[in-house]
Each structure stands twice: as C-alpha cells, then as structure tokens.
Structure 1
C-alpha cells in the first residue's frame, strides 16, 4: 500500500479501519435484529467499506483541494496495487454515504485521553456564502444564521473539546444560531478537572451544573463584571486557550472540513467525520507544555 499521503500514514489508517469494520461486523452478527451494513455493501460493490473509508480519510491529509482531483489524479493512477478493486469516481461518490455510520463510530474510538485539563470552543461551518443563503436548498431547515467576533455566517456550528495535547475529546454539530453554552453539558458529561473557555461560556447555572459532576468551568470575566481572584496556573492556562483556535484553523485549512461544494447532507457529514478522523492521525498536533502545571501553591492572581 502507498505508505504516505502528505503527513498521514495511510497503511496505519487502513489497518485501524479494517480491524474496526471486522469488529463491527462480528458485533452485528451477535445481534441478528441489526442490519449488517458491511455484508450488504459487499454484495453491491467490489470495494469494501474499509477501503472507501480509508480513501476518504486520506483525502483530508493529501493537500488536494477537491476530492475529485485527489481521486482521479492520485488514487486511480497510483493506488491500484493498494486498492485493486477501484471503481469510477461517480460510483465512489455513491458509496461514500454508506460509510457515514461507521465513520462516526470509528471517530469515537479515536478520542484522546482525559487529562483533567480541557479547552472548549466553537467554530462556524459555512455551507454557502451569506449572499446566497436565500437560494440555498441543500441544508434548508438544518442550518441557521450565527455571528462571532468576525462576522455573520450561514450554516452549522462545530463545538469541540480538546485536551492540552490537542487531542479531540468531544464534538457536536449544531445549527449556526445555537448558543455556545447549550451543548456543553452533553459534550462534557464524561470530563473531570478543569474546562477553559472564552467569555461566551459565562453562565452561573452552567458552572453549577458542571461543578456537580466534578468539572470546573473557567472563563475570563467581562469588563462590566466584578473581578475575582484566580489561581495563577488557571490564569496561565486561560492565556493558552488559543490552542483550540489553532486546532479549529487546522481542521478548516488542512483537514478541509469546510467548503461550499456539498450536494447532499450525507456527503457533508462524511466529509466532516473523515476530516476530524484525519486530524487524529496527525503525527504532530498543536499542544502546550504543562511541565509546570503543578503550581497550585503559588499565590492567586487578578485578571
């Protein structure tokens, strides 16, 4: 198999994906009432779903700007030995939606380690230029208008939680007009320790709800709010919150989870899950050095 596409180890991806698909198939056989997607798909196409998933994930680390160029200029002419049962580009696009459930399940197996230090943020996923929002039909009824510090956007909003190593801990996709604080309880239900966010997550009820489960929400204060003393280590980590913004930037500009060429909801979700999965395979992720994180004995500092 072709060993490297850009910075991703495609051989490792295929081995992990194929092992997961086999385990998933065995699990389906234990519960006959569940449909066996893998078996059904093999009867319709000569390509296995693990092969389709591998190629889709590999695209997000290839450097190609469109999947069509990647498939026709890289996969078809150069990957025949690795994938002897390749199909045409149009047929491959038809196969992609069948991988959606498996991609989602596989992505959850790629989540990082809960270390007690987490960062949360959201980023807009535009589905079209704002001036074309009235004529947009593909995601009609699923998207909404949202506004961040930069401008208005029309589409979805991706909510992420990462640890200090840049590993994904949780994610959720909502419409663009959903408040950042609304999906936090579901996202952080398995987390402990400290969760750092921007001022958009300020909420006393949310703080109390997370605190009950052993998670402390830490944000900066607004200018019109009463300032409080905080530990120095917490103040330092708040300044490192830009780590998750760097992750969002890589997801959009390297993994290409955002573009306006989608023609179906299913392929949009496949593109999103594959992009997030490709990010988990990056050999070097954005991270911060916490060798001095054991500083709780230092005096607290004011914002």
Structure 2
C-alpha cells in the first residue's frame, strides 16, 4: 500500500476563505489571474505565507464546507420586508462529458434553466433589497425552483413581499406563502389570466 503524505498548509483557513471572498468582489473574471497577478504581487504583507497556485486550488476545495457553515451561521442578512428569490445553475461538467463524470456521479442531476439543459446543481438564493443574502440552498439540478420555498427552514426569516420570475408561478405556493405572511409577486405568462387575483 502506497502511503500518501498529507501536507500541512501554511495558510490558515481564515486566510483561504478571505482570499476567495476578495476574489468575488475584486472584479477579476478568473481566480488564477486574480491570485497570481494581484494577491501574489500586492498582498504579500497581508498574506506572508502564500502557497503556489496549484496548492491554492486544493485548499479552496477543502475550505468549501467551513465557508458555507460560516455563511449560514454568521454571514446571513435580515429580511427587510422586500425580498428577491432566484436560482442559478452550478454546472459540474460539459453536457458531452456527463457519462464520464465521476466526482458528483451519485448526486448531480440533469436540469433545465433559462439557458437550456445542464448537468449539476442549482443554487437557490433569497436576498433583501440591499443586496444582503437572507438564505441560500444547493439542490440537484432536477429540483424545481419552487420546492425550496415550500421548506419552512428556508423561508422562516421572510415576511412582506417576495419578488420572483415566472418560474415560480404556482397557485399552491402563493397560497402557502401568503398563509405565512409572505406575498409572492411574479409576472404572469402571456397565455394566462390572473388566477391568483392579488398577484401582480
């Protein structure tokens, strides 16, 4: 049996997460350019124990769960009475490579979004009118956008108006949310009358 040495990172978990957060507010389009051209050149005082790029990619993966736990427990915003909900696809591979994909083989699914079919997951996010994230959820791609809104744990902070696109049109969902003092506001499809009465 070949023993594989587990190298200890010289970057702390908080530093790894901080670098990832900085990337998303930096304006850079890809992480490699951000890390090599900005962090390694201009932030060496703030991060004196920087690692090579390939090692940083490994550390990013290991920090994902702690980062999500921190965001869920400490980083979420409050509801202001005006909220927005939407989902975005998280593709794990190209559609042509689905049969060869192994990493998420047992949990990723085929799903559809406004850009067509994809293989992976969906990220569902609720934000307030100030841009703060009230809550988020990751589901397989085949889960309908309305399903997370049927879970009390996902909407327990909400009140007032919740704005969404046409993909959330559902009389059952509207009535369920309204019973919890949440007014779902969407546009109607062109071929629909106004079956919910008060929805706009």
1:165 aligns with 2:133: no
Give the C-alpha shift of residue 183 in structure 1: 0.9
Which of 33, 39, 62 is matched with 1:75 structurally?
39
1:128 aligns with 2:90: no
1:58 aligns with 2:22: yes
Give the C-alpha shift of residue 61 in structure 1: 2.9
Give the C-alpha shift of residue 142 in structure 1: 2.1
Normalising by structure 1, report the TM-score: 0.55
Q: Equivalent residue for 2:157?
A: 190
Deviations 1:27-49 (A, max 9, x none): xxxxxxxxxxxxxxxx9433222
Q: Is the 8 A contact 2:110 2:120 kept in 1?
A: yes
More helix by share: 1
Counterpart Cα distance in 1 of 2:148 and 2:71: 19
Q: Equivalent residue for 1:178?
A: 143
Gaps in structure 2 of 5+ consecutive residues: 1-6
Counterpart Cα distance in 1 of 2:36 and 2:189: 52
Q: Equivalent residue for 1:208?
A: 175
Normalising by structure 2, report the TM-score: 0.79
CA RMSD of aligned residues (A): 2.5
Give the C-alpha shift of residue 197 in structure 1: 1.8
Question: How many corresponding residue pairs?
Answer: 190
More strand by share: 2
1:116 aligns with 2:67: no
Counting only pairs closer than 5 Å after superposition, residues 1-303 of structure 1 correspond to structure 2 as 44-108=8-72, 109-186=74-151, 187-227=154-194, 229-230=197-198, 235=200
Task: Provide closer, same or farther for how the CA distance between residues 91 and 225 of structure 1 changes in structure 2, counting only shifts above 3 A.
Answer: closer
Counterpart Cα distance in 2 of 1:174 and 1:96: 21
Give the C-alpha shift of residue 180 in structure 1: 1.0
Task: Provide closer, same or farther for how the CA distance between residues 98 and 146 of structure 1 changes in structure 2, counting only shifts above 3 A.
Answer: closer
By relative contact order (CA 8 Å, sep 6+), the higher-ranking structure is 1
